[in-house]
Structure 1
Amino acid sequence: MPTHAHAALRALLHEAALPAALAEAATLSGSGPGLPSSFRVGAAAQASIAAAALAATEIHRRRGGLPQAVAVDQRHALAEFRSERHLRVGGKPPPDPWDALAGLYRCGDGGSVRLHTNFPHHRDGILALLGSIPPRRDAVAAALQQRGAAEFEAAAAEAGLCVAMLRDKVNWRAHPQATALRGQPPFILERIGDAPPVPLPPAADRPLAGLRVLEMTRIIAGPVAGRCLAAHGAEVLHVSAPHLPTIAALDMDTGRGKRGAQLDLRRVGEAARLETLLREADVFLQSFRPGALERLGFGPASAAAARPGIVYASLSAYGHLGPWSMRRGFDSLVQTVTGFNQDEADAADAPGNPKPLPCQALDHASGYLLALGAMVALMRRAEEGGSWLVRVSLGATAEWLRSLGRLPHGFDAPDPGQAEIADLLEEHDGARGRVAAIRHAAILTETPAGWHRPAPLPGRDAAEWI
């Protein structure tokens, strides 16, 4: 009998207009909830990772390589969906990336809001919005008792800050942004310009060898997409800026297989350097806040004009339509507003204790969906020509995960720790010491996926292609 993961995989391949027979080349092993959750996170992990791997095998075949099989085990896929938790440096976990003020707070009207304060400017902005209070949880809690949940969420959004009001599924469904997301596919592919076909390179030992990815992303989802493309052989150049905050532990996990440069696009010469890189890239991968790169001259239309034939892969929090299309957001916030936290609490028989999903499932799934969309666009470019825009949002991914259905006894599942996933780790010497990290969960028979270089320190590499 087909599993939910197989059904989800077939649906993704159909959405991508890839041959349905590709699904027959995939072995998805393991069953059950996998992690304590009422949602089918295991199916989402297997399907998204397998779909991206199958797209890579199809590119390899179209380049003249051998057809091949793909295997993704659920336990391994779920470990990769928590890869940042399993990272070890010198045998020890890295510092907790969560700021002490982050989390869920009760407001004066009985509602609740989740604050995301992991970046210093977001943290300082929220403290200022609350009346320049001291940076203590008790002070934040007391200040929020004087505010309404919806009012503070709106005020924070107006200030460019990251706050989400806790909603249940019913309240979210009634929201105009939910209406905008409803019916959207997990990824959107749109032709945005004319260009002659660009043939895929000749066959090589890895599916994406010879293809260049210019990446400007931060935190988890966007970097996971770049990590996935690097695992299948793409040359990925990650460009950050020296003035933007980052989280070292996440960089060490998601930066594997990439090179890392720094450019400050506020400077004319460095913006020109990025444009030079763009003109020689196949994929431009970005996850900056909506509108940020457009204002700097690197939005989709500008990129397609500068580099006809570009595949512009873009990640947002809530999608490109609706009243929240320009709103910033993170996985934890999207979970909160879309009802997942309340649904998990109800399923665990703890309605007064909102529960997050057991992993950053929206981030990780979105990363693989973005990589999938980019590879599909590369194949379209080879056949039809054109410049292409790939859109993925955490909000649409939340809709997709919810569409996979619920598990009636999902919280009976164990919550594996480091000892239980030790066999899935690989070790290498990184810029910060000996690193142990999760291997890629997709096993390809002819072109094994993986990373041949450790994550770089920010700005270690020159802003140029190899």
Structure 2
Amino acid sequence: MPTPSSDTTADLLVRMWRDTGVAPLPADSLASLRTLDPVPLASRTATAELALASVAAVTVAAGLDPRSIDPRRVAVAYRSDRYLLVDGTPPPVWAPLSGFWESGDGWVRTHGNYPHHARALRRALGLSGSAGAEAVTRRMSTLSTDEAVGLISAAGGLAVAVRHEDPEADRAQRAAPLLDVAVADPEGGRTKDRRTSSPAVSARAPLAGLRVLDLTRVIAGPVCTRTLALLGADVLRLDPPQLPELPWQHLDTGHGKRSARLDARSPELHALLESADAVVLGYRPASLDRLGLSPDALVEQHPGLLVAELSAWGPDHPERAGFDSLVQAESGIAMIEGDDGRPGALPAQALDHSSGYLLAAALTRLLRSRDGRSRIVRTSLRRVAAELLGMPRTTAAVRAPEIDASAHLARFDVDGTAVVTAAPALPGLRFEAPHAWGTDAPRW
């Protein structure tokens, strides 16, 4: 029997599928989705429905059976950072300077997980290099929200004002496609023959033999490319040598991918792009443009390449860096999920995970039906936030359900380190072990 929750999920899947283009949604997919139990992710907003529709989109795109989706496994995958163990120890997912701070007239949300962002935050607030949360709390209370955000942003740190939702701004966001897919053949339709799929292609590895270059960091982009690797693609992640990654974060999202370090200005990068089928971009659009790696530049230089771009704030804000938690705060989600006038958060970094699965769904469809033409696919965390804010919600207090995650975990040995991660959200598949960050050669 369909429920309001299952109807909401089905309606969202229809919208997602429409935006990916290529072919109609298989008729039995919606009926299959309506038979599933709700995903146990409790929130006032429709986080559970967003998660299930996002995973269903890539499941159907890969030709897998959505009836086999386990809602509990989806919840564990979306909260993967809560279940990660490195040599038996949970990593410090949130650094001391990442969080909500009460200002003189409201709230500020900061992100200081990366050391360079934490240093910038302390510098902006005039604090010592070892200052902790107590010092930040005192300093924030002396500033207005706008003053604090302005100081931190000017210093190269990450902070946003915690705001209430703006329905007009969200309607404007939703006027654009959730996934923007555009044919982008330069010079009047010039195309290039790309390699054909490997004979190893099967129902469980529909992307076998296809090459995907991963130029992403943090969660959303790596979730996309991890999903493509799960479906059989040869995925090579490249990181700038001068920009270290948080080791635990890569272990959480690096399954099945090789990981190398390479300067973006290196000729080797374009040699890799020349023989790639797709590239996924996750850095600020303005930064990519300065490096000559904007989507338009890439399809001009490498005809036939599929380019997927994921950003925090969308095409209108190419210079802005951002994270899921910051978009939740500025879009109004944090205040909806909070209590007694204090901001809260979704039960998972659902904007990251959902945008990653959505981008993977679009690329999977395009890779499986490629015709030699270049296409550019775009989405953003802010656009996904607007979708969530436009879905039905509850005003009642919510209580997180208990989940026995033991059947939904995967165990690996990564260069002698015992790693426990969430298992794949997609049904019937198993992750390959992540490689240690930056330890592979930058070649196919």
Same-fold call, TM > 0.5?
yes
Which SS does the other structure have where 2:235 is aligned? strand
- In structure 2, relative to structure 1, the CA distance for the partners of 1:263 and 1:112 (3 Å cut) is same
Q: Which residue of 1 aligns with 2:20?
A: 16
Kept in 2, the 8 Å contact 1:48–1:365? The answer is yes
Take 1:6 and 1:432, find their aligned partners in 2: how far apart are those partners? 43
- Is 1:436–2:420 an aligned residue pair? yes
Runs of 4+ in 1 over 6 A off after TM superposition: none
Kept in 2, the 8 Å contact 1:30–1:75? The answer is no
- Is 1:310–2:305 an aligned residue pair? yes
Deviations 1:14-70 (A, max 9, x none): 22233222553873454346123112212111111111121122xxxxxxxxx8665
Aligned amino acid, residue 463 of structure 1: P
Kept in 1, the 8 Å contact 2:16–2:179? The answer is no
- In structure 2, relative to structure 1, the CA distance for the partners of 1:464 and 1:22 (3 Å cut) is farther
Q: Which residue of 1 aligns with 2:246?
A: 247
Which SS does the other structure have where 1:78 is aligned? helix
Aligned amino acid, residue 409 of structure 2: L
Take 1:460 and 1:84, find their aligned partners in 2: how far apart are those partners? 22
Aligned amino acid, residue 80 of structure 2: S
Pairs aligned (count)? 430
Which of 266, 288, 292 aligns to 2:287? It is: 292
Displacement after TM superposition at 1:379 (Å): 4.9
Which SS does the other structure have where 2:183 is aligned? strand
In structure 2, runs of 5+ residues without a counterpart are: none
- In structure 2, relative to structure 1, the CA distance for the partners of 1:115 and 1:415 (3 Å cut) is farther
Displacement after TM superposition at 1:182 (Å): 3.7
Aligned amino acid, residue 279 of structure 2: F
Which SS does the other structure have where 2:410 is aligned? strand
Alignment of 1:312-461 (within 5 A): 312-321=307-316, 324-345=317-338, 350-379=339-368, 381-382=370-371, 385-409=372-396, 411-416=398-403, 420-443=404-427, 448-452=428-432, 454-461=433-440
Which SS does the other structure have where 1:27 is aligned? helix
Take 2:251 and 2:402, find their aligned partners in 1: how far apart are those partners? 24
Deviations 1:264-299 (A, max 9, x none): 235xxxx10111101000111111122112212222
TM-score by length of 2: 0.90
- In structure 2, relative to structure 1, the CA distance for the partners of 1:69 and 1:174 (3 Å cut) is closer
Displacement after TM superposition at 1:438 (Å): 1.8
- In structure 2, relative to structure 1, the CA distance for the partners of 1:426 and 1:137 (3 Å cut) is closer
Which of 155, 158, 161 aligns to 2:157? It is: 161
In structure 1, runs of 5+ residues without a counterpart are: 58-66
Alignment of 1:178-327 (within 5 A): 178=170, 181-193=173-185, 194-196=189-191, 198=193, 201=197, 204-205=201-202, 206-265=205-264, 271-321=266-316, 324-327=317-320
Displacement after TM superposition at 1:434 (Å): 2.3
Which of 124, 127, 130 aligns to 1:129? It is: 124
- Is 1:105–2:104 an aligned residue pair? no
Displacement after TM superposition at 1:228 (Å): 0.5
Take 2:161 and 2:314, find their aligned partners in 1: how far apart are those partners? 18
Which SS does the other structure have where 2:209 is aligned? coil
Displacement after TM superposition at 1:221 (Å): 0.5
Which SS does the other structure have where 1:291 is aligned? helix
Take 2:264 and 2:53, find their aligned partners in 1: how far apart are those partners? 37
Which of 20, 44, 52 aligns to 1:38? It is: 44
Percent identical among aligned pairs is 34
Which of 138, 141, 153 aligns to 1:142? It is: 138
Q: Which residue of 2 aligns with 1:62?
A: none
Which SS does the other structure have where 1:114 is aligned? strand
Displacement after TM superposition at 1:136 (Å): 2.1
Kept in 2, the 8 Å contact 1:216–1:240? The answer is yes
Aligned amino acid, residue 421 of structure 2: A
Aligned amino acid, residue 122 of structure 1: H
- Is 1:49–2:49 an aligned residue pair? no
Take 2:65 and 2:327, find their aligned partners in 1: how far apart are those partners? 37
Take 1:97 and 1:22, find their aligned partners in 2: how far apart are those partners? 41
